[in-house]
Amino acid sequence: MRNERSFERADAREIDQGLRQHMNEIYTKMTAGVLVTAITAYIVGNSEFLLNLFLGGPQAYIVMFAPLAIVWFGFNPATMPAKTLRISFFALAVLYGISFSAIAAMATQDPTYSVAVAKAFFIATSMFAGLSIIGYTTKVDLSPMRTFLSMGIIGLVAISVMNIFFGSEAIGNAVAGIGIVLFAGVTVWQTQNMKEMYSPHLNKEIAERIGWDAALSLYISFIAMFQYVLHFMQER
């Protein structure tokens, strides 16, 4: 009986250590994506040639919608090998960086705007950290949120695209507010989900696929929250 309890404690320690490593690897991937986005935005934003090349004409819409194409059509953990998922993830991070290069350019030229960007990044980081802690520690089953969040984000994207043509400030504010709520929900749900999906018996390839999928979801949530918080900072 004593030996059985010893084995159980040993297994629990092994799972706990493996889970901690699993979570750390996912957050490392996600952080690497954010870093790639920031570096790309800085490089492109400080080059007039690159700014004009990517954002100086109709090609700006390709840059704007290319991330959605990668998420919907170029990122399938069920069928793609982990190496391909990694390439798709960082391609997405680069595209977001190009999209944000205009923000980097404005921040470089305007000290007031650079402060707003820094504040938005700090607020988004704080929100993300707090939401991740909630998702990791809560005992409430958050799986029913998935369908609601998915439908909400699809609707949000559709409204955002429509508002490109309408240019309504009120709709823009509503999109930003709802977007923060939706992606906050995604962060909490995804954190709980990647914790529950962990198993010490998963082979390395499957664990890597799960890891890149979770990193993508967290990365998009963080980028979206930063973007929407920055929107409100600009309104002030």
Six-digit token string for 37: 């986005």
Nearest to 51 by CA among 101, 107, 92: 101
Enter the tokens of residue 41.
């935005």
Distance CA 27, CA 212 (A): 10
Across 3-7, 129-133, 167-171, the highest mean pLDDT is recorded for 129-133
CA angle at residue 71 from 64 to 18, to 5 degrees? Answer: 130
CA distances from 28 to 50, 155, 211 (A): 29, 30, 10
Q: What average pLDDT score do residues 27-55 get?
A: 92
Q: How confident is the model at residue 131 (pLDDT cuts 50, 70, 90)?
A: very high
As a whole number, mean pLDDT of residues 119-133 equals 94
Q: Percentage of the chain with pLDDT > 90?
A: 40
Mean pLDDT of 187-199: 90
Counting residues of the chain whose pLDDT is more than 70, the rounded percentage is 93
Mean pLDDT: which of 58-67, 75-84, 224-233 is highest? 224-233
Q: Report the alpha-carbon distance of residue 33 to residue 87 in Å, rounded.
A: 11
CA-CA distance, 236 to 228, in Å (whole number)?
13
pLDDT for 159: 92
Q: Is 4 a residue whose pLDDT tops 70?
A: no
Positive or negative: CA dihedral 45, 181, 64, 212:
positive
Burial 100-134 (b: 16+ CB within 10 A, else e): bbbbbbbbeeeeebeebbeebbebbeebbeebbeb
Question: What is the per-residue pLDDT across 70-90, written as a single tens digit (0 to 9) for each?
Answer: 777 777 877 888 898 899 899
Average pLDDT over residues 5-32: 73
Grouping H, G, I as helix, E, B as strand and the rest as coil, residue 9 is helix
Residues 45, 102 contacting (CB under 8 angstroms): yes
Cα separation values, 8 from 12, 29, 158, 215, Å: 6, 31, 50, 31
* Residue 182: band (very low, low, confident or very high) from pLDDT cuts 50, 70, 90: very high
Rounded-to-integer distance, Cα 171 and Cα 191, Å: 30
| Torsional class of 138: left (φ above 0), alpha (ψ -120 to 50), beta (otherwise) | beta
